[in-house]
């Protein structure tokens, strides 16, 4: 058995980090403060693309493109291993009334990604449920959404079958065990746990954890609220995005509409104001939703970081401590590449993409 690693955090980044390390033969202990897969990863929409990919730096595109190409394979592997289908659902995505349409098309051309203008008549033919009042559209075929609660269940079930993985839930980590400059474990609600390596993948809570070492990690919570409708299975054949809000179809006719962006600390309370705003957006996009029932309304806390660039790699002057956190709005999108890169770095393999933009060195 290779080295023992503790992964702190049981969201998509923590679970997939554990999955990648375990597949390489490492012994992995995953610690989660509540139950796995119940925070931001569960609360997101699951679009396998940044909302506006051309507005991000190339470092985000690099992770996103690798992950987008990998997701169908990952979904199939997890379905086989766990018996739970993460539902990687290719629907394509329409952006409506973009103010930076030319920039979007130039970005797509530069990155060899399919994105093209579509006249509104074609859009209404393809998406009959779409409302009137939109004047322009661009479309990217092949964009998928993943049913994130199922992805998390599937990862959890796949990990549970591995003999070299232990998952400890309802076990908050309060700090680190140090020997000189080396991190050799964590302090938890169940006592001290030791390992050669510790990976912090605690999402919006990662900054609080690093503060116990006197390190300032600029990752903070940013609340997002979402609503869910139930419609006929063919009500919305593609994802649509307008005015920074989106509608995402699931295979069984559930439609997610999101989301807000609120800087309110660790408050996950849902508000009537957000509910009304999201319903108004939903009806504006898809008038048929006026008669549909909101079956769920929830909030999650995104791990906001400067420019949305995650921290992936070793922490300088703290041997044995690694980060995989700060993915902001793109945790699900970037997870496969982020976790592959982390495993590559930890196991001295050739990295899947250039690790330099995500290195914690110089950014803490």
pLDDT digits (tens, 9 = 90+) for 289-329: 999 999 999 999 999 999 999 999 999 999 999 999 999 99
Dihedral angle sign, alpha carbons of residues 349, 159, 222, 255: positive
Question: Which pLDDT value is given to residue 81?
Answer: 97
Please report which helix (H) or strand (E) contains residue 322, including its range.
Answer: strand 321-325
Residues in the chain predicted with pLDDT less than 50, given as ranges, are 1
Question: Which pLDDT value is given to residue 9?
Answer: 98
Question: Which pLDDT value is given to residue 153?
Answer: 98
Question: Which pLDDT value is given to residue 3?
Answer: 76
CATH class of domain segment(s) 93-141+220-304:
alpha beta
How many Cβ atoms from other residues are within 10 Å of residue 58's Cβ? 12
- Cα distance from N-terminal residue to C-terminal residue, the chain: 33
Domain ranges in the chain with CATH number 3.50.50.60: 4-54+150-219+307-358
Domain 4-54+150-219+307-358 falls in which CATH fold? FAD/NAD(P)-binding domain (3.50.50)
Domain ranges in the chain with CATH number 3.30.9.10: 93-141+220-304
Cα atoms in the Cβ-side hemisphere of radius 13 Å centred on 310: 37
């Amino acid at each position: 058995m290779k080295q023992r690693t503790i992964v702190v955090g049981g969201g998509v980044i923590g679970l997939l980090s554990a999955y990648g390390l375990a597949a390489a033969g490492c012994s992995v202990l995953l610690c989660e403060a509540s139950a796995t897969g119940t925070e931001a990863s569960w609360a997101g929409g699951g679009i396998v693309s940044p909302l506006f990919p051309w507005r991000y730096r190339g470092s985000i595109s690099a992770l996103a493109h690798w992950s987008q190409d990998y997701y169908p394979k990952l979904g199939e592997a997890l379905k086989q291993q766990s018996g739970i289908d993460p539902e990687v659902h290719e629907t394509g995505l329409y952006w409506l009334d973009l103010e930076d349409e030319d920039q979007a098309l130039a970005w797509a051309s530069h990155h060899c990604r399919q994105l093209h203008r579509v006249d509104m008549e074609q859009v209404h033919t393809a998406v009959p449920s779409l409302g009137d009042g939109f004047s322009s559209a661009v479309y990217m075929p092949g964009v998928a959404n993943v049913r994130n609660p199922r992805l998390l269940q599937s990862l959890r079930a796949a990990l549970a079958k591995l003999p070299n993985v232990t998952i400890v839930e309802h076990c908050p980590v309060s700090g680190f065990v140090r020997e000189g400059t080396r991190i050799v474990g964590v302090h938890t609600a169940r006592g001290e746990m030791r390992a050669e390596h510790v990976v912090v993948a605690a999402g919006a809570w990662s900054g609080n954890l690093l503060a116990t070492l006197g390190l300032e990690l600029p990752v903070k919570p940013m609340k997002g609220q979402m609503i869910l409708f139930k419609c006929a299975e063919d009500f919305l054949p593609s994802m649509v995005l307008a005015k920074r809000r989106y509608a995402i179809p699931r295979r069984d006719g559930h439609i997610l509409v999101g989301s807000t962006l609120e800087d309110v600390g660790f408050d996950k309370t849902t508000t009537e104001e957000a509910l009304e705003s999201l319903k108004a957006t939903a009806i504006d996009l898809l008038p048929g939703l006026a008669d549909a029932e909101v079956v769920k309304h929830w909030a999650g806390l995104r791990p906001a970081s400067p420019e949305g660039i995650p921290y992936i790699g070793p922490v300088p002057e703290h041997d044995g401590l690694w980060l995989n956190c700060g993915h902001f709005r793109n945790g699900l999108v970037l997870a496969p590449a982020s976790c592959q890169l982390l495993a590559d770095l930890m196991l001295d393999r050739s990295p899947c993409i250039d690790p330099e933009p995500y290195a914690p060195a110089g950014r803490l």
